[in-house]
Chains A and B, each alone.
Chain A
Amino acid sequence: MKLFEYMGKELFAKYGIRVPRGRVVASAEEAAAAAAELGPPVVLKAQVLVGGRGKAGAVRFADSAAEAGTAAAEMLGREIKGCRVERVLIEEKLRIDRELYLSVAVDGGARRPILLASAHGGVDIEEVPEDRLVRYHVDPSVGVLPYVAREVTRRLGLSGNVAREVQRIIPAMYRIFCEKDAELVEINPLVVCGEEVLAADAKVTVDDEALFRQKDLPYVEERTAVERRAHELGLSYVELDGNISVMANGAGMTMATLDLIQAYGGRPANFLDAGGGTGEEATAQALELLLATGPRAIFINIFGGITRCDDVARAFVRVKESREIPVPVVIRLVGTNEEQALAILRAAGIEAFRNMEEAARKAVELAGGEG
């Protein structure tokens, strides 16, 4: 779960990381009032969960309260890279001397947290050459001791009060990372304004699997309505932009199924992992969910391990008898109770496939190929 910038900054402030003075607003009137209160010039930042806001026109400056109101009115309700702007963060405009970069993230390959720092902040960190990046792996059972922060600032070439401030900010970021179950805590840029060091941006991503123990964090919804519904059913669902709806079991298997559809010239409409051990009821609900998205064809690809093929077959027959299914459905079933499943389907006049490649090809053909 990604936090909005303003939420991240509230968190930073609680952990003693300085942020620019600012207000979050949802209307032009509030924006003008906030700008007057902060004292122009101000910066307005659309609160959306996508990167590259500067280039997308989601960051603007205003020299007066009236100008701030106009700018906010233009930003609010607009879509930026598919995200609707519902709030704008208005902040004092800073006199920036230099921009740094700091982050703490999970390094899956190393199985440890990693500190990343650069004296060249304010740009996409992927564009910073490797020799200008400081990387430091943290032993999670030890954490970030003060010497780690001293070493990082030395390698960044910082000195004096700026170095001391950054040495304070690094352990604070690591505390947020641990205490809030974050996957990423990023400040880009961390700005130096005279003797002050402030977080001019905040990117905090919280581990979805840890939300059960992060009750005091605000909840930010990123999923579409269908994705939400699927989640409630215990299914893993991702919307894609094609027209062949897919239901498979297991994440790797589902991906492989989408790959086959694409390889045969079709376009998958979704990723739906029905999981292991999906019973008849859940399968029926998953099918209803797919039908509601209005695909050109449906492809069910099940390798029954814990999932029993006869459960899937029964679910399909049940849905088919209870309503009209307006699109062709291709079913491939292999594994546990396969024979019973094929018999159930045959009795309902449905021929199931056993080979996954053949079935995928058929699904693409029935959906009318590309289109």
Chain B
Amino acid sequence: MEEQLIERAKQGDDDAFQQLIEQHLKTVEKFAFQIGVSPSHMEDVTQEVFLKVYRFIHKHNRGKFTTWLYSITLNVIRDFYRKEKQMKRKTIELQKYATQQTYIQDNFDEEARELHQMIHRLEDKYKIPIVLHFFHGQNYQEIANVLGVTEGAIKTRVLRAKQKLKAEYEKVGEQL
């Protein structure tokens, strides 16, 4: 079904492409949020992701579509925050931080909030593999394809990320 949609989208069928967006929008937003995209930036990021997918879909002819989509999302997020950094203004940053806090407050219970923040604090090289592995069901090889590194490197990173996360989780758990 998805293969057919991709083929139709490659032929320039905009309805098929819109169906692809509908199918994957939630995944892109979830991943972007987990990687650290502020809710106030979400629409800009998803727009840019699907714009890129639209531009290059005719070139996508090997590998899983979702793997490719995660790569594009990561590239867009990196670039988005690189630009943001250039235009950084403290007041705006504070407003965005407040928006994010309110959003997390509204959508997660206390335990989930803590765990989300712990993941959020991990370095990207640990955060991205663990997010893709635990919350997006990607296997090591698929994550390796997204990040352009070896499967072995991903195995190590997921293991270390899990150890770090678990240790902090248990530490916080004892304090509560």
User: Are the chains A and B members of one assembly?
Assistant: no
